[in-house]
Copies of this chain bind each other. A is one copy, B any other.
């Protein structure tokens, strides 16, 4: 089963990467770009056919390794 995980900074947490992208875009002449936030995107295959079990396992993976839950949120999408 294919899983897609998005890890984003919580709102209110400063995002220097996003700010750098925003100012670089401005320097390149792209105007009207605001609130740039950069996150991580992880794709993986999980050999678990039960969707609920797969989701549980992915939540554990996010909590233990993939996301820093103090400053980051994560969302999990499972492809059926």
| Residues of A bordering B, CB below 8 Å | 6-8, 18, 21-22, 24-25, 28, 30-48, 57, 60-61, 64-66
Q: Give the oligomeric copy count.
A: 2
A39 partner, pick from B24, B41, B48, B61, beta carbons under 8 A: B41
B40 x A44 contact (CB < 8 A): no
A42 to B40, CA, bound (A): 8
Listed by A's residue number, 29 A-B pairs whose Cβ atoms lie within 8 Å are A6-B41, A8-B41, A8-B43, A21-B65, A21-B66, A22-B44, A25-B61, A25-B65, A28-B61, A28-B64, A28-B65, A30-B60, A31-B47, A32-B46, A33-B44, A33-B45, A33-B46, A34-B44, A34-B45, A34-B46, A34-B47, A35-B45, A36-B42, A37-B44, A38-B41, A39-B40, A39-B41, A39-B42, A40-B41
